[in-house]
Amino acid sequence: MNVSFPITSNEILLKCIPQRNPIVMVDVLYAFNDNEVSAGLSINSYGLFIKNNTLQEPGLIEHMAQTVALHTGFGYFLKSETAPTGYIGSIANLKINRLPITGEKIHTTATILQEFAGITLVDIICQINNQIIATAQMKTVIAK
């Protein structure tokens, strides 16, 4: 399948992740390869995780998890297969330097460290204007 980046189509993105509104926390897929995925989110003034025009910690963590889900899901999308449902298995070394505010755009990159038997371990970096706002290591698990 021939695709070009960035992908902003809600139709394509929703085929790659199990979440549905109001919990969709990715709105662009910037890049994808076997070892890495980059996704983004524009912070709006409305939403489940917005308080005082600021995306709260659970929303930022959910954005990280959905970025990882995009890696798995987009791989399935390219093969014209249905993306599986996955879960956060663990979060380690989470560091939030600051929270994003309304009007900002998060650019998140997840680098695959290990992938085996439906378990994926990744390093995640969230940035706004090339400034790191959060980092974490996350393990996700595909539902059986």
Instruction: Supply the DSSP string of 21-66, one letter for each residue.
Output: TTS----EEEEEETTEEEEEEEPPS-STTEETTEE-HHHHHHHHHH
What pLDDT digit, counting tens, does each position of 11-49 carry?
999 999 999 988 999 999 999 999 999 999 999 988 889
pLDDT in tens, 80-101: 999 999 999 999 999 999 999 9
What is the per-residue pLDDT for 47? 85
Domain ranges for the chain, please list them: 10-142
What's the pTM? 0.95
18 contacts 86 by C-beta, under 8 angstroms: yes
Q: Which CATH architecture has domain 10-142?
A: Roll (3.10)
Q: Do the beta carbons of residue 122 and residue 67 sit within 8 Å? A: no
143 pLDDT higher than 90: no
